[in-house]
């Protein structure tokens, strides 16, 4: 199911109570999703 495209990862805190783990979780999920569908994340 490869798309052979490119993507940009954008991660953010949605509240002041969230910490570094929230960003790391978003990065992990985005990287896995991109890999699963054949995208390369060029910039995070």
Number of domains in the chain: 1
> What integer pLDDT is reported at residue 2 of this predicted model?
56
> What integer pLDDT is reported at residue 12 of this predicted model?
87
Q: Residue by residue, what is the 3-state secondary structure of the chain?
A: CCCCEEEECCCCCCCCCCCHHHHHHHHHHHHHHHHHHCEEEEEC
> What integer pLDDT is reported at residue 43 of this predicted model?
95
> What integer pLDDT is reported at residue 13 of this predicted model?
83
The tens digit of pLDDT for each residue in 1-44 reads: 556 899 999 998 877 777 667 889 999 999 999 999 999 999 99
Domain holding 11, by residue range, is 5-43
* Cβ within 8 Å of residue 1, ≥6 positions away: 36, 37, 38
């Amino acid at each position: 199911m490869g798309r052979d495209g490119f993507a940009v990862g954008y991660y953010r805190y949605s509240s002041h109570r969230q910490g570094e783990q929230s960003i790391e979780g978003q990065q992990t999920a985005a990287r896995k999703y991109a890999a699963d569908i054949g995208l390369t994340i060029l910039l995070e």
